[in-house]
Structure 1
Amino acid sequence: MEIMKKIIVLLVIAFFFSCKEESKTPVSEINTEVENVSEIIKDSVLIEAKEIIAPKTIKQIQEELTSKGFKTFDYVDEKTKDTVLMQQYFMAFLKKGPIRGQNEEEAAELQKLHMQHLKKMYNMGYADISGPFGDDSDMRGVTIYNVPTLKMADSLANSDPMVIAGRLIIELHPWWAAKGFPLR
């Protein structure tokens, strides 16, 4: 028993002396390790937070859209028995305009401004998809506006620099699509 006490005392003393030794790990490595652990913790917390948030119900989405002025309706799919929420969008057909005599440099500048406009509409959440048609007909492209009124869609579509210059004209139509169904 006496030997055991001496061994424990020696271990405790050795432990205290080992704790007093200076760290041999450079501070930069410690900082990097702390940053890595912080990122892991942050990612873990974000994942847990995402798991806690419940998805919105069809009714909640419909109420939210209606409160913003969107037209909606829902129906029950006979086969799946799922409730499908439909929302009104506005499809803007871009057609050749009456003023197409711009020189190559002017046309290129208008195209650049046109693309900036479409990107801005997308980034602001007003347009969900835009693109040109693949032939050389009078119908040049389409943009689908995700806004509550025809008046707003008309204003946004007609603020396109190509339309202002007369190189394109807009033809707008209300269009219905199911919420949550992606293109494929």
Structure 2
Amino acid sequence: MKRLYLCLFILIITTPSLLAQKDQAAKKTEPQIRQYWFVMLTAGDNRSQDSATAQKIQEAHLANIGRLYNEGKLKVAGPFGDDGKWIGLFILDCATREEAEKLVKTDPAVAAGRLVYEIHPWYTVPTGSFEPGKPKSPLF
């Protein structure tokens, strides 16, 4: 009988601790949604540059993409493959819309008026490309 009471006592004492550990493990594995900034790039009004100037702007645009990526601010960038109104997109990792706009305005194609933009908050789980901070290897 003493053995039964001892077993019950141990069970009662250890159960809350085991449940607390289970709750902590569950909290650690739950993904945390994070906000990013989705930037839609569309054709701007100033696209009348000669081909050499347009090429220089494009090269500077790509260099800026590489810089923002290497700084850990740009998580995704790329063009669309059709002839629609949408030219490309950025997904930025920064705290505010104002910071996102400041980063977009560093783009030479935006500064030249070849591209215009819309900025929207966008949410996902920070895994893969969306992990916070600088990338492990540079883009360019």
Offset of 1:146 from its aligned partner?
A: 0.6
What are structure 1's unaligned runs of at least 5 residues? Answer: 1-58, 60-75
Aligned residue identity for 2:74:
A
CA deviation profile, 1:69-100 (whole Å, cap 9, x unmatched) = xxxxxxx7xxxx94110110001111000111
- Of structures 1 and 2, the larger Rg is shown by 1
Matched, 1:158 2:105: yes
Offset of 1:131 from its aligned partner?
A: 0.5
What are structure 2's unaligned runs of at least 5 residues? Answer: 1-23, 131-140
What TM-score do the two structures reach when normalised by structure 1? 0.54
Matched, 1:105 2:52: yes
Q: In the alignment, which of 54, 61, 82 is matched to residue 135 of structure 1?
A: 82
Choose between structure 1 and 2 for higher RCO, CA contacts under 8 A separated by at least 6 residues: 2
| Kept after mapping to 2: 8 A contact 1:90/1:150 | yes
Matched, 1:171 2:118: yes
| Kept after mapping to 2: 8 A contact 1:113/1:161 | yes
| Kept after mapping to 2: 8 A contact 1:158/1:170 | no
Distance (whole Å) between structure 1 residues aligned to residue 105 and residue 116 of structure 2: 8
Offset of 1:179 from its aligned partner?
A: 1.8
| Kept after mapping to 1: 8 A contact 2:74/2:91 | yes
SS of 1:156's partner is: helix
Aligned residue identity for 1:177:
T
How many pairs align? 105
SS of 2:33's partner is: strand
| Kept after mapping to 1: 8 A contact 2:76/2:129 | no
Distance (whole Å) between structure 2 residues aligned to residue 140 and residue 104 of structure 1: 18
Q: CA RMSD in A?
A: 2.0
Aligned residue identity for 1:133:
F
